[in-house]
Amino acid sequence: MTIPIKSKDGIAKMREACAIAATVLDQLKPLVRPGITTQDLEEAGRDLISRLGARSACYGYQHGSRRYPAHTCISVNDEVVHGIPSFRRVLRDGDIVSLDIVVWHDGYVGDNAYTVPVGAIAPELEKLLRVSREALDLGIRQAQVGNRVGDISATIQNYVEAHGFSVVRDMVGHGVGVAMHEPPEIPNFGRKGTGERIKSGMTFAIEPMVNLGGYKTKTLSDGWTCVTADGSPSAHFEHTVLTTDHGPEILTVPRPLPAPAS
């Protein structure tokens, strides 16, 4: 397996795509509140992506004979990833909602996700979100030149399981660049010292998917929505990261939204 090394020009384009994806996500977070529908969030995300000169990498994405029908992935409570927005899905106080934004811009992809509380949530959910965020941070720190992919995986798994939660096995992080999914696969479980050697210029989508209950999942009849098998809540946090000789650099950093064209 050959992991793509990005050129100087490719890195510059990745920075732009990732900044757009992060800005869209950052703008959507404060819209999450009781009473709003996931379709409301979808439409806001769609419009922001277009306003920033990009297009959704999710919309029309083909898996087998199915094409994903929305511009964003919005997953609520026991939905792990790939939740399809709907006017029928009304967010309620105490829910958690994962916003996954992936965009194309100038031939490159930016990918990030964040799980947002809806109003006041239970203490166990607050802990789930905190531990998942911290696991992402710890995993990113392992994306050092000279380390191996398994160092990222094992660090995430060990931290999550030490806090009594489980990591999803059926979905994994991945390389990202000119395609949404590039080598290598980056599981959120594994052993240190295994996997491909990390070199400078690689770009990874590192994304812990953490369940309150067991790690098993299933896919709903829509062919997309991945849910926990035991119905327990799930959290999802993700950044696109560039590996450099000076350490990992998070590319999915939001910036101020430009003023609308007059």
Place of tokens 């590996």: 243
- Give burial (CB, 10 Å; 0-12/13-18/19+) of 231: exposed
Question: How distant is the alpha carbon of residue 113 from its chain centre?
Answer: 3
- Give burial (CB, 10 Å; 0-12/13-18/19+) of 246: exposed
Q: How confident is the model at residue 261 (pLDDT cuts 50, 70, 90)?
A: low
pLDDT tens figures, 183-202: 999 999 999 999 999 999 99
**C-beta separation of 25 from 101 below 8 A:** yes
**C-beta separation of 75 from 82 below 8 A:** yes
Residues in the chain: 262
For 8-249, CATH gives: 3.90.230.10
3-state helix, strand, coil in the chain (%, to 5): 25, 25, 45
For residues 118-141, average pLDDT: 98
Distance CA 54, CA 57 (A): 9
Distance CA 21, CA 82 (A): 16
pLDDT tens figures, 52-85: 999 999 999 998 899 999 999 999 999 999 999 9
Per-residue DSSP letters for 73-100? Answer: EEEETTEEE-PPP-TT-B--TT-EEEEE
- Annotated binding residues, as ranges? 82, 100, 111, 174, 181, 207, 238
- Kindly state the tokens that stand for 82: 């790939």
- Annotated binding residues for a divalent metal cation, as ranges? 100, 111, 174, 207, 238
For the cut 70, the answer to whether the pLDDT of residue 132 exceeds it is yes
Indicate the pTM of the whole model: 0.97
Q: What is the structure's pLDDT at 259? A: 76
DSSP 184: E
- Kindly state the tokens that stand for 246: 């000076």
Q: How confident is the model at residue 262 (pLDDT cuts 50, 70, 90)?
A: low
- Annotated binding residues for substrate, as ranges? 82, 181
